[in-house]
A and B are shown apart, each in its own frame.
Chain A
């Protein structure tokens, strides 16, 4: 042991100084381990977890966006389909309404026509009746005017009767 110590002494070994340096290094190791490397590791791990969480959230958000986009397309497709149905129904309804209106108008026109024809017939009959009624007296008047003689009531009636 003494031999070893004397060999070490030739390179300046002094166990008191070595002990001081040993303790000093343990203190340094404790400080660096606890407050430098420990703290940095904690921060780096924390940052890594934040980044990983962010990436997960971003990927989830991307998925949600894709789903929403798909849903939007689906809604638009359905809306388009519904629109087409509504338009075609409206067109059908419009066609039906137009046909109904047309039929109604035709019926009304026919009825009016019939009424007019009836009125015309009635008027014609009335005119004919009026003419038939007025004609003998007119003829008698004309006859009297032609003969320049007033007909007696009896003659007048006779003339009218002969014309009927």
Chain B
């Protein structure tokens, strides 16, 4: 039995406050497998099943397919309400939709009864839960945000062309044109050049802002749940766990809304040309 569980009573469920770093289980080549990675893998398998079901969709839908379609319509409408253009929204629905699906499942999965009941011995010899909430690990949210921003750059390049897109960051052409027009225009374009360089930093900052916001909220929720369970395990944590569902959904929506805005900015730049 787990050490912390031995100290528990009817009114107090004493568990160790989860460490900020997800416990590492082992390595596969250059990839390190942490408990949060196991949860991500579980989610991947779940999505493979869902994808198989969805790929067999028919014109007359089954109940499950109708639920999938309802979710798709909701995501598409949500994205369209932010982007404000149906065609542009349709371009990013698969990316942002996939992100939203992943986040909803990743945030809500740890609240499923039984998920936290599996324990495993980590590489450091500690007895740790096998399925740690994916988004309570900074590495997951960082990987997620990094993937989102990388894909955003790919979408930007695909939509505007390589030189068209990168000219927002490295504005040599604008400086050349500015000085060709007049000296004052050239001086202004020099400012634009530095703003473009700052844009590169801002793109990198997006990765940190997105990942830290999600991680902070979800990790804080998990820590507080453990603290509340240790203080008084009857009723009080239940309210907080219920709140957790809300937090999970809201954080997913916030993350997705921000990413949609970033994507729509990439698509809007195309209009300016």
Contact for B139 among A18, A34, A46, A47, CB less than 8 A? A18
Set of chain A residues within 8 Å of B69, measured between Cβ atoms: 40, 43-44
Q: Is B115 an interface position by the 8 A CB rule? A: no
CA distance A37 to B91 in the complex (A): 12
CA distance A21 to B141 in the complex (A): 8
CA distance A32 to B269 in the complex (A): 27
Set of chain B residues within 8 Å of A47, measured between Cβ atoms: 59
Name the residue on B nearest A39 (C-beta). Answer: B55
- Mark each residue of chain B from 15 to 42: 1 if its CB lies under 8 Å from any CB of chain A, else 0: 0000111101001001111101100110
Interface residue range, chain A: 35 or more
CA distance A28 to B105 in the complex (A): 12
CA distance A21 to B142 in the complex (A): 8
- Mark each residue of chain B from 135 to 160: 1 if its CB lies under 8 Å from any CB of chain A, else 0: 00111101110110001000000000
Q: Is A86 an interface position by the 8 A CB rule? A: no
Contact for A39 among B54, B73, B134, B142, CB less than 8 A? B54
- Mark each residue of chain A from 25 to 54: 1 if its CB lies under 8 Å from any CB of chain B, else 0: 111110111111111111110110010000
Name the residue on B nearest A46 (C-beta). Answer: B59
Set of chain B residues within 8 Å of A38, measured between Cβ atoms: 94
Contact call A24/B44, Cβ cutoff below 8 A: yes
CA distance A57 to B184 in the complex (A): 64
Contact call B72/A40, Cβ cutoff below 8 A: yes
Contact call A36/B32, Cβ cutoff below 8 A: no
CA distance A46 to B61 in the complex (A): 12
Set of chain B residues within 8 Å of A12, measured between Cβ atoms: 19-22, 137-139
Contact call A17/B139, Cβ cutoff below 8 A: yes
Set of chain B residues within 8 Å of A11, measured between Cβ atoms: 20, 138, 212, 215
Contact call B47/A31, Cβ cutoff below 8 A: yes
Name the residue on A nearest B73 (C-beta). Answer: A44
Cβ < 8 Å to A, chain B residues 48-96: 48, 50-52, 54-55, 57-59, 61, 65, 68-69, 72-73, 93-95
Contact call B40/A24, Cβ cutoff below 8 A: yes
Contact call B144/A43, Cβ cutoff below 8 A: no
CA distance A47 to B82 in the complex (A): 26
Q: Given A12-B138, A14-B21, A43-B57 in contact, is the A21-B50 Cβ separation under 8 Å?
A: no
Q: Between A and B, how many residue pairs show CB distances below 8 Å?
A: 150
Set of chain A residues within 8 Å of B54, measured between Cβ atoms: 35-36, 39-40
Q: Is B255 an interface position by the 8 A CB rule? A: no
CA distance A150 to B65 in the complex (A): 147
Set of chain B residues within 8 Å of A18, measured between Cβ atoms: 139-140, 142-143, 146
Contact call B138/A33, Cβ cutoff below 8 A: no
Contact call B37/A20, Cβ cutoff below 8 A: yes
Q: Is B110 an interface position by the 8 A CB rule? A: no
Set of chain B residues within 8 Å of A37, measured between Cβ atoms: 72, 93-94, 97-98
Contact call B139/A25, Cβ cutoff below 8 A: no
Q: Is B43 an interface position by the 8 A CB rule? A: yes
Q: Is A147 an interface position by the 8 A CB rule? A: no
Q: Is B102 an interface position by the 8 A CB rule? A: yes
CA distance A38 to B93 in the complex (A): 10
Q: Is B245 an interface position by the 8 A CB rule? A: no
CA distance A66 to B146 in the complex (A): 62
CA distance A26 to B33 in the complex (A): 16
Set of chain A residues within 8 Å of B47, measured between Cβ atoms: 28, 31-32, 36
Set of chain A residues within 8 Å of B143, measured between Cβ atoms: 17-25
Contact call B24/A14, Cβ cutoff below 8 A: yes
Known: A20-B37, A23-B31. 4 other contacts (CB 8 A): A14-B34, A24-B37, A29-B95, A36-B54
**Nearest 3 CB-CB pairings of A with B:** A12-B21, A21-B143, A35-B51
Interface set of A (CB-CB < 8 Å, partner B): 8, 10-14, 16-29, 31-44, 46-47, 50
